[in-house]
Amino acid sequence: MLDSLFKPRSVAVIGASTKELSIGNRVLKNLIDFGFKGSIYPINPKADEVRGIKAYKSILDVPEDGIDVVHMVIPARFVPQAFEDCGKKGVKNVIINSGGFSEIGPEGEAIEKAFMEVARKYGIRVLGPNCQGIINSDPEYRAYCNFTFTMPEPGFISIVALSGGVAEVIHQGFSAMGVGTRIYASNGNACDITIPEIIRYLGDDEQTRVLVTYVEGLRDPEGFMQAVTEVAAKKPVLAMKAGRTREGAKAAASHTGGLAKEDLATDLIFKKAGVLTFTDEGQLIRAAAAFATQPIPKGNRVGIITNTGGPAVIATDVLVAAGLEIPPLSEKTEAFLKERLYPEASVHNPVDVLATGTAEHYRACMDAMMEDDNFDCLFINFVTPFFVDTDSIAREIVEVNRQRKKPIICNLMTDTRQWTETVRILKEGEVPFFALPSDAARALTALVRYRNILNRAPGEVKDFTDIDRKAAATIVAGVRGAGRKTLLAGEVYRILEAYGIPVPAWKVVGDAAMVEQAANEMGGPVVVKADAEHIVHKSDMGAVAVNLPDGAAARKAAEEMTAKLGGEGLKFLVQQYLPGGKEVILGAKAEPGLGHLIMFGIGGIYVEVLKDVVFNLTPVTSTEAEEMIDSLKLSPLLKGVRGEKGVDRAALVELIQRLSRLVSDLTDIAEMDLNPTLAFEDGLSVVDARISL
Ligand code: ADP
Ligand code: MG
């Protein structure tokens, strides 16, 4: 339980400095300025008092045992001994603000190890080192255990981050918007208390309605995924993603001791866990502000009320582009509003009450739309003309907002220095308002995105009963035993067959004469492919001959390949030729700590150019497999265009899941691809596959 850390009743500062411009002094000042409700103990061997509070020479001299939080703002080398003292005093949590630990290399790492040993001995929990600390704005605690300078108003948004810098930017963003925040935690090197642990704590914290997080590369991807999955099912989790570009990732790797890996896996974790991701901190902040006060809409249908034309159009564009709908008013609403509004008003969605529209007009619209089953949420465009009573309009919006029937997002276009009362009413009434139509529209979009996440059918990981895992594992073990990394064609196809993955009839043989015989036995047109470990891209090397009508033609092709590629160790795959079919590509790649990435895309010779591929993480559920297929840019091609028949979607969904199962079982597989897989109207077949360990 992290309660004693986030809801402290007593705080000591080891290294409470009398120097104003120092962290040890600032932490103390922050506690005082923020109105900390508990006791404060500055520790300083030389001073009698710091910032007017009695100081103690050592933590051992403090008259209270079992202090909740101790800040350490002292050089790294003194930290282990300070932990000993804290242990003797029964201290519960230590926040180490100082740096000089694992982030600087082996020397600092050794100190980190040393104090962690002491901490474990005494059961002290540690936040940091090299971190900012925590803030809890709850009026009962008012704990500013942090050296930053943004003093938040109480609110419902909690923030957790590894990197203090980004968390602080986000924190300031809320503050600048006048949006309150609740708990803030930045844990630096995270040598003990982890981000997943804090996320779980905030998930259980009832007053936290929205959770905002920022991570740079994940140390424990599995633990992170579990924690966010749990919490995102209960409340919205919004994540800021940075390090998307190669340059960004490098910058992230060079501090906080963080391990910014490639961005893809983190993205997939977020997606699988149901986290809303943002690449723009402004959008994240505004979305969080909306979540903090608004209910989650039941669906994506927006009713728009406006008193000005153009801005409503801008908002509509953003909403529609994000997949939200602007349905017509019900007949009842339309009839009702025709009676209530000015005759010139536009009584369609968006409803334009005109610039002269009054508080009564706004109220009539809101009431009608709240009752109208055509709408799940309201978007209010509100410009403040000097000739109407805008305070009254704001009051009506607030009153309807209090009913919490459907979410309301407001685009308030005003001069905030003049219309201070209108602004104050909306703010106190917990109506989220934004200055630009697109910004307001995007905040609403986020609410709907979360609804879609909650509605997402989890899908199931299909349990295939026709799989011969043992046979496949034996083949892999054999290849390992032989010290090889790449599997030969026969091994690959036997594994696919063991996993019920459809392949054309095939046979591996040793020379051209046997190729002829095999082709004759197979009957019909065949394909001949040279097979050796060193042959990777077969067509490039002339190692593939397709559509060979009979045994003689197959033999000739094999002889030509022998002449070209040299006969030593060369084998041949004789394979049934399958005409037609659309080429798709599937692949898998091991992702340490996360299982495997599964790739699906449109294949063929243009695969490198189109790069129309999507990824997911194992295990892929049926729903996710469907989503993968649908999210390809060229997915209409698979459905069939211009009278052409589509391909067997059910078979593709099953293949993705069988591949997911295969690599989940055979964890030794580093990479594999099924390229191409020929998808037909009825069924599919993998005609080329590679597996490497
Ligand atoms: P590589 O990818 O190593 O160059 P492939 O085995 O994928 O070799 O063969 C190259 C191309 O030949 C495939 O992309 C596919 O278009 C075609 N092809 C291969 N095998 C078959 C087959 N059995 N039936 C129909 N077409 C095939
Ligand atoms: Mg191929």
Give per-residue pLDDT as tens, 545-579.
999 999 999 999 999 998 888 867 889 999 999 99
How many angstroms separate the alpha carbon of residue 583 from the centre of ligand 2? 10
Average pLDDT score over residue span 317-328? 97
> Whose Cα sits closest to atom 23 in ligand 1?
577
Contact 413, 384 (CB under 8 A): yes
CA distances from 103 to 99, 227, 357, 582 (A): 8, 25, 60, 51
Q: Is 543 in the pocket of ligand 1 (CB under 6 A)?
A: no
Q: Ligand 1 centre from 226 Cα, in Å? A: 41
Q: Which atom of ligand 1 is nearest to the CA of 690?
A: 3
Q: Which residue has the tokens 């690959």?
A: 492
Q: How far is the CA of 576 from the centre of ligand 1 (A)?
A: 11
Percentage of the residues of the chain whose pLDDT score is greater than 70: 96
- Specify the pLDDT at position 162: 80
Q: Which of 688, 691, 692 to mutate to test the pocket of ligand 1 (most atoms within 8 A of CB)?
A: 688
380 lines ligand 1 (CB under 6 A): no
Q: What is the pLDDT of residue 606?
A: 72
Token pair 């993998």 is found at: 686
How far does the centroid of ligand 2 lie from the alpha carbon of residue 477, in Å? 25
Residue 456's pLDDT is 84
Confidence of residue 259 (pLDDT cuts 50, 70, 90): very low
State mean pLDDT over 238-261: 52
* Digit-coded pLDDT (tens) for 171-185: 999 999 999 999 999
Beta carbon of 365 within 6 Å of any ligand 1 atom: no
437-451: average pLDDT = 97
Mean pLDDT of the chain: 92
**Mean pLDDT score, 214-225:** 82
Atom of ligand 1 minimally distant from the CA of 535: 3
Smallest-distance ligand from the CA of 528: 1
pLDDT of 36 reads 98
Nearest-CA residue for atom 22 of ligand 1: 577
Band of residue 285 on the pLDDT scale cut at 50, 70, 90: very high
- Domains contained in the chain, CATH given: 1-131 (3.40.50.720), 148-293 (3.40.50.261), 296-455 (3.40.50.261), 469-576 (3.30.1490.20), 582-692 (3.30.470.20)
pLDDT tens digits for range 77-123? 999 999 999 999 999 999 999 999 998 999 999 999 999 999 999 99
Among the ranges given (240-254, 533-547, 675-689), the one the predictor scored with the smallest mean pLDDT: 240-254
Amino acid, single-letter form, for residue 383: V
Ligand nearest to the CA of 544: 1
Percent of the chain with pLDDT over 90: 80
Going by alpha carbons, the residue nearest to atom 25 of ligand 1 is 578
Distance in angstroms (rounded) separating the CA atoms of residues 147 and 72: 12
Q: pLDDT of 620-665, one tens digit each?
A: 999 999 999 999 888 888 888 888 888 999 999 999 999 999 999 9
Residue 664 and residue 495: Cα distance in Å, rounded? 13
If you measure from the C-alpha of residue 485 to the centroid of ligand 2, how many angstroms do you get, rounded to a whole number? 18
Q: Confidence class of residue 613 from pLDDT cuts 50, 70 and 90?
A: confident
Average pLDDT over residues 383-394: 97
User: Which residues 6+ apart lie within 8 Å of 192 measured at CB?
Assistant: 116, 119, 125, 126, 127
How does DSSP assign 399-442, residue by residue? Answer: HHHHT-SS-EEEEEES-TTT-HHHHHHHHHTT--EESSHHHHHH
What is the distance between the alpha carbons of residues 539 and 487, in angstroms, rounded to a whole number? 18
CA distance 619 to 462: 9
pLDDT tens-digit readout, 464-481 = 999 999 999 999 999 999
Alpha helix positions (H), 233-276: 246-253, 263-273
- Measured in degrees and rounded to the nearest 5, phi and psi for residue 39 equal -90, 150
Is residue 254 pLDDT above 50, yes or no? no
129: alpha, beta or left, given left = phi > 0 and alpha = psi -120 to 50? beta
Q: How far is the CA of 600 from the centre of ligand 2 (A)?
A: 14
- State if residue 574 touches ligand 1 by the CB under 6 angstroms criterion: no
Atom of ligand 1 nearest to the CA of 605: 14
For residue 413, pLDDT beyond 90: yes
282 has pLDDT over 80: yes
Ligand 1 lined by 577 (C-beta under 6 Å): yes
Whole-angstrom CA distances from 425 to 79, 185, 402, 411, 414 are: 50, 31, 12, 14, 14
pLDDT for the residue 243: 61
pLDDT of residue 434: 97
Give distance in angstroms: CA of 231 to centre of ligand 2: 42
Res. 260 pLDDT band, cuts 50 70 90? very low
User: 110 and 79 in contact (C-beta within 8 Å)?
Assistant: no
Rg (C-alpha) for the chain, rounded Å, is 32
**In what order do the strands lie in the sheet containing 93-96?**
39-43, 10-14, 69-72, 93-96, 125-127
List residues, by chain if needed, whose CB lies under 5 Å from ion ligand 2.
675, 688
pLDDT for 263 beyond 80? no
Check pocket membership of 582 for ligand 1, CB cut-off 6 A: no
Separation of alpha carbons 668 and 473, rounded Å: 9
CA–CA gap between residue 387 and residue 307 (Å, rounded): 13
676 CA: nearest ligand 1 atom:
14
CB 661 less than 6 A from any atom of ligand 1: no
Q: Whose CA is nearest to atom 10 of ligand 1?
A: 539
Residues 69 and 10: beta-carbon distance below 8 Å: yes
Most confident of 28-32, 215-219, 241-245, 482-486: 28-32
User: How far is the C-alpha of 39 from the C-alpha of 437, rounded, in Å?
Assistant: 47
CA distances from 108 to 123, 189, 419, 535 (A): 22, 11, 55, 49
CA 257/CA 200 separation, integer angstroms: 23
- pLDDT-based confidence at residue 201 (cuts at 50, 70, 90): very high
**pLDDT-derived band at 677, boundaries 50, 70, 90:** very high
Please tell me if the CB atom of residue 547 comes closer than 6 angstroms to any atom of ligand 1.
no
pLDDT at residue 20 in the model? 92
Q: Point out the ligand nearest to the CA of residue 542.
A: 1
- Tell me if residue 627 falls in helix, strand or coil: helix
